[in-house]
Structure 1
Amino acid sequence: MSRLLISIITVNFNNKHGLIKTLNSIKSQKCNSFEHIIIDANSTDESTDIIKQYEKEVTYPLYWTSEPDKGIYDGMNKGIKQAHGEYLYFLNSGDVLMDSTILQKLPLDGSKYIYGNIKYVLSTSSYRNISPAATLDIIYLLKTALPHQACFIHHSLFQTQLYNTKYKIISDWIHTMKSIIFEGCSYKHIDITIAEVDGTGISSNQEKLMEERIKWIKEQFPQAILDALSELYEYKYSELGSLIPTISQTKKFKKRIRKIVLLLLKINNLFSSNKRKEKMISKIWEPF
């Protein structure tokens, strides 16, 4: 077998129909330099029978277990502990790879976070094509998240931090923030649609997602920094931010003009309606 590049980790609980779709999409891959790890949370809906049949049909390395866990991130952590690949990829039950050549197309060049695009399916007739930004900063990641179904994460990033099981929805976002923003790891966007994602899962709960993000952010930053981040966010996503799109990217400009921009922003906000400001603030917590 060629060098093991990817560990695909699938977490499942009582989702046999979604599991079948996921397993079929993995089984169809023409690339063979991967292993598959399935963590089932003691399902009672015939999921384990499906996994046993799948085990008989595949030739690539497969590990699976079925036992109670403490939630999706506990299951993902169990998968991480069993993984041998250079990169880890999480494709949970209900999500599918876009086609049989996806794993062949990946430029896995040693960058720590490699991420592509996804097709986010809301219903049988509604979906969104999600393409994350090529350049990531803290303001962008406060507003959005890298969908884990689009991310190939270097194994080394899990040596010192697994997913935080205290949170039920945002732990993959926390891992991204810590790795890319706090630790400054390398990252790269690839313009490939990696997966079709089930948009009806737990992370679609906007109210809960917002609650968890606020809690984590307040734990990480003192109030003075939170106030500064809030000002910078409002500037970036206001009309003023678009007035100077090119020159405002230079470090020299940012240093000299920041106070002027913030003053103009405060004046601008005096003439903004409360409704508009509330709408802008709520967008911080969209999942993509």
Structure 2
Amino acid sequence: MKVTVITVTFNSAATIADCMQSVLDQTHPDIEYIVVDGQSNDNTIDIIHEFEPKFTNRLRWVSEKDNGIYDAMNKGLRMATGDVVGVLNSDDFFTTTNVVEQVAQAFSDSTLDAVYGDVHFVREPDLTHSVRHYSSAGFRPWWLRFGLMPAHPSFYARKEVFQKAGLYKTDYKIGGDFEMMVRLFKRFNIRAKYLNIDFVTMRTGGTSTKNMGSRLTLLREDTRACRENGIYTHPIFICLKYFYKVLEYRF
């Protein structure tokens, strides 16, 4: 089974090598790796060039102007030829070498549309110490009204799921991944399975949580995503997720 991993980059020179190396180290033999760069002006492209021969024709990449992260993800989805597709952010890396192998094994169940699991967060310079564990174990679709979803970097779906449901909405700034989850679980009623594995190590400071302005934008977009897909919610409901997320931190 071919698994496509998509990485979106822009000026990611500080982290892209860790990301790409973790894909290269995966034990699954049939991986298509797609990198979509937004015309970086640092050394990102040089690093991609360095890794390209190591992937022996399994890496495809493009560097061109885009209209934001979700436009770039959509480019990757259009390029994907794998049976199953997932996204690995350029700041992140696979936690173990057999993540993709376990994903592929799970899809031997032909009734499954998608799988998801856990991720954990680290803070520079110590990338071995977890400061937050994001578990998707208890997720139920009704949680979406509270802005809670499976960890997006752990979400892998059959390509035909995206073909039926459509691409990421590019008029969302930072909540497009949540809108996609709401659409898939609510409108398309996908059959998804939780895998009890730690998929990805994520660096703290992502786009959706880097400042109060980002949090307010995410609040508005999460509320909108639910309403557009037929889930009743309210910004107050969405705010409740932050009380839940406090439990994820390692003090």
Match of 2:175 among 170, 176, 194: 170
Match of 1:195 among 197, 200, 204: 200
Give 1:140 shift: 4.5
Match of 1:255 in 2: none
Deviation, structure 1 residue 170? 1.3
AA at the equivalent of 1:200: G
**CA displacement at 1:284 relative to structure 2:** 3.6
1:52–1:99: structure 2 CA closer, same or farther, 3 Å change rule? same
Partner of 1:183: 188
SS of 2:194's equivalent?
A: strand
Give, in whole Å, the separation in 2 of the partners of 1:96 and 1:29: 11
1:138-157 aligned at under 5 Å gives the runs 138-140=142-144, 142-157=146-161
Q: Which has the larger radius of gyration?
A: 1
For residues 41 and 11 of structure 1, do their structure 2 counterparts lie closer, same or farther at Cα, with a shift above 3 Å needed? Answer: same
Residue 21 of structure 1: how far off its partner (Å)? 1.0
Question: 1:112, 1:154 within 8 Å by CA — same for their partners in 2?
Answer: yes
Any idea what SS the aligned residue of 2:47 has?
Answer: helix
CA shift for structure 1 position 59: 2.1
Shift of 1:208: 1.7
Which residue does the alignment assign to 1:215? 224
The equivalent of 1:15 in structure 2 is 12
TM-score, normalised to structure 1, is 0.74
Q: Is the 8 A contact 1:32 1:60 kept in 2?
A: no
Structure 1 gaps, min length 5: 231-277
Q: Which amino acid aligns with 2:11?
A: N
**How far is the alpha carbon of 1:179 from its aligned partner?**
1.1
Structure 2 CA distance for aligned equivalents of residues 281 and 165 of structure 1? 22
Q: Which has the higher helix share?
A: 1
Q: Percent identity?
A: 27
Shift of 1:183: 1.6
How far apart, CA to CA, are the structure 2 residues paired with 1:23 and 1:50? 9
Whole-angstrom CA distance in 2 between matches of 1:50 and 1:15: 10
Structure 1 position 159, deviation (Å) = 0.8
Q: Which runs of 5+ in 2 are unaligned?
A: 246-251
Q: Which residue of the partner structure matches residue 35 of structure 1?
A: 32
For residues 51-94 of structure 1, what are the alpha-carbon distances to aligned partners after superposition, in whole Å with 9 as ceiling and x for unaligned?
11111222251110100000000000000001011111100211
C-alpha RMSD over aligned residues: 2.4
2:36 is paired with a residue whose SS is strand
Query: Structure 2 length normalisation: TM-score?
Result: 0.84
Deviation string 1:179-209 (CA, Å, 9 cap, x unpaired) is 1122211110010001101231212232221
Could you tell me whether the CA contact under 8 Å between 1:209 and 1:285 is conserved in 2?
no
Matched, 1:117 2:118: yes
Tell me the distance in 2 between the aligned counterparts of 1:81 and 1:183.
20
Q: Which residue of 1 aligns with 2:88?
A: 91
Rounded Cα–Cα distance in structure 2 between residues aligned with 1:147 and 1:135 = 10
In structure 1, what is the equivalent of residue 45 of structure 2? 48
Distance 1:214 1:143, change over 3 A: closer
CA distance in 2, matches of 1:148, 1:21: 19
Shift of 1:174: 1.1
> Comparing 187-196 with 148-157, which one deviates more in the overlay?
148-157
Contact 1:36–1:60, Cα closer than 8 Å, also in 2? no
SS in 1 for 2:39: coil
2:62 maps to a residue whose letter is T
Instruction: Please say if residues 5 and 34 of structure 2, whose CA atoms lie closer than 8 Å, have aligned partners that are also in contact.
Output: yes
